Structure 1
């Protein structure tokens, strides 16, 4: 791996900025500065990550992952490009070479880092997005077949675990007989949460933020009662808001998220559960005898799960079946509310 010397640049389109890097895009978004160049390692860049990068005001994105594989349709890259944020791709081997807070310059097919390191790159264009997105759309039928097979296989393995009541004896927040609002940072979660302001004002539900969903609640002026998840995409300020903290543990009892909370001096409990943290929040609410569950931003379609890199949703299907009599999914309610307003 040779290191090239700086040489005269012949290209006309140049982007300069300070690099801020993290292999986890959601973790980078918690501390990235406006005007920075985001350096990520993100395969099939999803809409939520793209929206976060846009909101963060990044100047450009350098991706050491495959921005689009051509297997999954995705609009994240298109959102960035339409917002005027260029995307360039580099080989993964170069990722460690771009250190945080290093000044760099992107010049179409190369990145100049500091005074002497030059890294080759490829520009991700709208034309490339169109080609790969079309390929993914043509592949969708086969994707659906594989997704259904995986979902059914995992559902068979997990059905007994999902049926078993999930209890957290150390939890002090009372859920029995109350409405529960579970917020996840899924597609259009901000608009849907805003549309529920009247419901929240009338019912005073228990507010549960699943990881970054806690920040979504705080952004709308609400303080979460409970934060559930791996604790890898929730901000420090949200963790300090006074909510009860429940760390999603693996089936063997390991809870990597506890390390972060302990380092911050925060008390938390760990709870083992199959499936996603969203599934755990649903089961916990249901098995603690809540009256009604309303959800915002939950991942519920094949497209949602493929964006998250999951090849099936066995536990999620089973959980939705179990809690269905109490479940109201508010996904898209903002659009319905707007349509109703327009018709009037």
Structure 2
């Protein structure tokens, strides 16, 4: 029998594999991972479980994950289920909407592929195994061509609707932050953003880029020990502390002017500007930095491949592809910076290096007989020189 430590109560795994413990429920996985306690049973409703969500669940260390939806629908080969499987976290899939009726803290029993509350069967699903994962991935690859066609169609539709914004910067708001001639570092809570920020510490200290946190990316900036200059997004996953930090706030609005995050920043009494655009928040952050004169745009945790675009689960990711075409040669992925960038050697560092070399040379000389003799002669010569100077001044 194994116990999972939790601030609520420990989840118990019996010898026959039955898991008993408290559940924590939220249809939005990104919200659940913020409060999920180790050892609890996570209950989500997440079709095509993406990599970022799965990595967040793994960090929270649940005893098991119950998904009301299909973790892989076959649209594309999503990576989330495999991440949970590799971490040894049981995933029971396709349980249906009834599992979402469970209450936070309610104790359940997972027996095989069935979930019980007391003696009552709540739902039955499908336990993820290595064989099922391989089968799902094979089927998903077959559907990838259809997704590619849909992605291309969505891209052309976005280009037609946002032509003026992409080509001429029409609609980009005026901001107080001065980007002219400076680097911009855009941080999104995406793939390996923590590792990338760690690798960029020397770069940030030396170049002092304008740091833009995209929604929850602003909190990631604080966690890394930096301070954001600007926060861009619909404000659904950023903390009040970050919004009140003094960073300039750009609220992402829909094209029709609706801005769900606007009321939140107004209630906090924070100054802000509104940026209506059909793309994603990371896209408008890049467009803003580019249009306002940033010399280089460094991206942390953003999306760059087709699988990553599809992982977001929305057609709007086509805007990300076109935004990258617009920003062009200015855009550099953080991993590329960490590989190419080397800290410059400053003058004082060269001085210290030379000083250390002289000290090492003196120590080596002193350790020899000839060196000790030379040191004695040098001392006698300096003593004679000092006496000569004293006599010269005393006679005058």
- TM-score grouping bracket, smaller chain normalisation: 0.7 to 0.9
Q: Which residue of 1 aligns with 2:213?
A: 209
Alignment partner, residue 5 of structure 1: none
Q: Tell me the distance in 1 between the aligned counterparts of 2:128 and 2:263.
A: 37
- Partner residue of 1:190? 194
Residue 282 of structure 1, CA deviation: 0.7
Partner of 1:230: 234
Mapped contact 1:102–1:114 kept (Cα < 8 A)? no
Larger Rg: 2
Give, in angstroms, the shift of residue 49 of structure 1.
Answer: 0.5
Instruction: Tell me what 1:59 maps to.
Output: 63
Measured in 1, the distance between the counterparts of 2:335 and 2:152 equals 22
- Per the alignment, do residues 264 and 18 of structure 1 end up closer, same or farther by CA in structure 2, a change over 3 Å counting? farther
Q: Are 2:102 and 1:107 equivalent residues in the alignment? A: no
Q: What stretches of structure 1 of length at least 5 have no aligned partner?
A: 1-9, 338-344
Structure 1 residue 17: Cα displacement: 2.3
**2:148 match:** 144
Please identify, of 322-331 and 245-254, the stretch whose mean Cα deviation from structure 2 is larger. 322-331
* Greater relative CO (CA pairs within 8 A, separation 6+): 1
Shift of 1:36: 1.7
**2:172 is aligned with 1:167:** yes
Cα distance change of structure 1 residues 297 and 162 upon mapping to structure 2, 3 Å threshold: same
After TM superposition, give the deviation of residue 203 of structure 1 in Å: 0.6
Kept in 1, the 8 Å contact 2:218–2:231? The answer is yes
RMSD after superposition: 2.5
Alignment partner of 1:89 out of 86, 93, 108 = 93
Matched positions, count? 327
More helix by share: 2
| Distance 1:318-1:75 versus aligned 2 partners, 3 A rule | closer
Deviations 1:117-168 (A, max 9, x none): 6332321222211101111223333432332233233323322232242433
Quote the offset at 1:88 in angstroms.
0.9
Moved more, 236-245 or 287-296: 236-245
Q: State yes or no: 1:323 paired with 2:327.
A: yes
**Mapping of residues 121-140 of structure 1, within 5 Å:** 121-140=125-144
C-alpha distance 261-115 of structure 1, shift in aligned 2 (>3 A) = farther
On the 8 A contact 2:55/2:80 being kept in 1, the answer is: yes
Structure 2 residues without counterparts, runs of 5 or longer: 1-13, 342-396
Q: Decide which of 221, 230, 245 is 2:249's aligned counterpart.
A: 245
Q: Distance in 2 between matches of 1:163 and 1:266?
A: 31
Displacement, 1:313?
4.4
Q: Secondary structure at the match of 1:144?
A: helix
Deviations 1:17-66 (A, max 9, x none): 22111111112222222222111110110111000011112221111111
State TM-score, norm by structure 2: 0.75
